[in-house]
Amino acid sequence: MNTPSIITVPVLPFGMVHCHLVIGETGCVLVDTGTPGSEGKIERALKENGRGFRDVTLIVITHAHTDHAGSAARLRELTGAPILAHVGDLDYYERRKEMTYCVAH
């Protein structure tokens, strides 16, 4: 069995926002989804590594800020992968509270 590769996907310039792909033999895990509209950058990173949206088997969201979870719903549609997130953030995902941006990472 090969060691998984971890690919950093830049979302905004200067490394301010990024997400990660963990690429293994049987699929990929996407950690965070970037700002709304980041799916093209994630698709490009997948293609550069010989993968596509359907290779993503799990989406992990670290926390409910727009720069980490902004493309989660769209990527769920594109990949068919389940989303794993903390239950404490459920109000944000169900839109009872509005997500904000992180001020520092």
Tens-digit pLDDT profile for the chain (105 aa)?
A: 688 999 999 998 877 889 999 999 999 999 999 999 999 999 999 999 999 999 999 999 999 999 999 999 999 999 999 999 999 998 888 778 888 887 654
**Could you give the C-alpha distances from 20 to 23, 74, 75, 97, in angstroms and in order?**
9, 17, 14, 26
**5-93: CATH number:** 3.60.15.10
CA atoms within 13 A on the CB side of 88: 3
Q: What global pTM score does this model have?
A: 0.89
Run of H or E including 72: helix 72-79
Which sequence spans correspond to the domains of the chain? 5-93
